[in-house]
């Protein structure tokens, strides 16, 4: 950030009065511009004991498999965002069943929220951000071809919860 | 948003190629400036069956009671943010026990994440953003003087979970 989005004058990093952190403060109009972590929302979508995975068509990690997920937008709930991403990436119509996990990823200043979801229709197909989509059994997850650590964590957590449910 | 924070030229709302939503796009350098929901992190902090509440010293809702909570900062996890807010608002040293609830509040584009926490020391005192702090029994919550709906939801959810734990 180099310029004020309100007035176009240069900003400088300084600690505002009453604050404890450096912020971008406008040298013209004194507006404080806060920068905050971003929210990613996604879903583990299941149909008859198989999970929906999408092979990424965009950077980063083109060609690797992911759960449908993406940045939460203004004007939606986290659940609505996860439903939207499943539709955008896999033309998948889903219903959210509950929270699966939350991961804070400090290195990239993201909070990623994953939900349990059901596929309402097994007919899925790649959206523009996907090269391919598949419904894969829990025992056939391509662990070595997953796009991001959080995708692996969410899948392992889902498997753990599934085993607990079967045991209990 | 009126000006580009990268180059200082004016921005205009338009739908970028491959996107489906209006974004702020710089007329000078073509940077797309995304605006995303913000994350609030807070904690229901318990000590010997009493809950920590803070009476707000700042707008909005000055004088009303809240759970310690605030905007998540860059460079921290959601849990670390909740720990920091308890320290800032109530000089409270806490340990996070787990997730209590997540609320998406579309009107203000916030996702609020509340944790269960334990007070590690019952000595609490108002920080600069609080007029007062108190440890209050579950049966003495000032329901008519709570600052925000989400504070009431989080408290009611905690009471519900507590009753379920006692029943089960
Ligand atoms: Zn300015
Ligand atoms: Zn620009």
Same-domain pairing of B49 and B95: yes
CATH number, domain of A94, equals 3.90.79.10
Report the percent of chain B where pLDDT is more than 70. 100
Same-domain pairing of B22 and B45: no
B151 within 8 A of B106, measured Cβ to Cβ: no
Same-domain pairing of B20 and B64: no
Same-domain pairing of B106 and B121: yes
Same-domain pairing of A24 and A55: no
Structural domain boundaries, residue A7: 1-35
Provide ipTM, 2 decimals. Answer: 0.95
Same-domain pairing of A82 and A135: yes
A127 within 8 A of A159, measured Cβ to Cβ: no
Of B4, B71, B75, the CB nearest to A106: B75
**Chain A residues within 8 angstroms (CB to CB) of chain B:** 1-11, 18, 21, 33-39, 71-80, 99, 102, 104, 106, 109, 111, 113, 128
Number of domains in chain A: 2
Same-domain pairing of B26 and B47: no
Same-domain pairing of A110 and A31: no
Q: Rounded to a whole number, what is the distance in Å from the CA of B140 to chain A's nearest CA?
A: 31
Same-domain pairing of B160 and B105: yes
CATH number, domain of B23, equals 2.20.70.10
Same-domain pairing of A22 and A65: no
**What three-state secondary structure class fits A140?**
helix
Strands B38-47 and B69-71: antiparallel
Q: pLDDT tens across B6-51, in order?
A: 999 999 999 999 899 999 999 999 999 999 999 999 999 999 999 9
Same-domain pairing of B74 and B153: yes
Same-domain pairing of A30 and A52: no
Q: pLDDT tens across A19-44, in order?
A: 999 999 999 999 999 999 999 999 99
């Amino acid at each position: 950030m180099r310029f004020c989005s309100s007035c176009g004058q240069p900003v400088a990093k300084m600690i505002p009065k009453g604050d404890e952190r450096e912020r971008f403060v406008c040298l013209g109009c004194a507006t404080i511009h806060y920068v905050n972590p971003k929210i990613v929302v996604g879903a583990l979508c299941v149909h008859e004991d198989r999970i929906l995975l999408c092979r990424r068509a965009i950077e980063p990690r083109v060609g690797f498999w992911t759960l449908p997920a993406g940045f939460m937008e203004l004007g939606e709930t986290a659940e609505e965002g996860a439903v939207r991403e499943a539709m955008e990436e896999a033309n998948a119509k889903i219903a959210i069943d509950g929270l699966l996990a939350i991961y804070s990823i400090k290195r990239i200043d993201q909070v990623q929220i994953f939900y349990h979801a059901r596929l309402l229709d097994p007919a899925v197909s790649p959206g523009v951000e996907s090269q391919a989509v598949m419904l894969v059994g829990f025992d056939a997850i391509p662990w070595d071809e997953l796009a991001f650590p959080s995708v692996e964590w969410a899948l392992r957590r889902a498997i753990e919860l599934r085993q607990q449910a079967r045991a209990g």
